Amino acid sequence: MKKMKWSVSRKQKIHWVVDFIRKYISCAPSESLFLYVNQCFAPAMDAEIGSLYDCFSVEGKLILHYCKTQAWG
């Protein structure tokens, strides 16, 4: 992604972010896309951004990473 920072409403759910990223990177619906908070865990698709921000923000930012293959570790 060319742009690294995005402002998202606290009420948005993670599935909205996944859909946004899919469109932004032209990822086909048949392709997998995984989202991780702070490179640690995959949040539930119905989790609200605001709740994740309250619990896991770092220096006032919620850091999300995405990839097309599932990460284990």
pLDDT tens digits, 18-60:
999 999 999 998 999 999 999 999 999 999 999 999 999 999 9
- Residues 31, 69 contacting (CB under 8 angstroms): no
Per DSSP (E only), the strands in 1-73 are: 34-37, 64-67
Number of H helices, E strands in the chain: 2, 2
Confidence of residue 73 (pLDDT cuts 50, 70, 90): low
pTM here is 0.84
- Rounded CA separation 33/59 (Å): 26
pLDDT tens digits, 61-72:
999 999 988 876
pLDDT tens digits, 1-25:
777 788 999 999 999 999 999 999 9
Q: Report the topology of domain 14-67.
A: Ubiquitin-like (UB roll) (3.10.20)
- List the chain domain ranges: 14-67
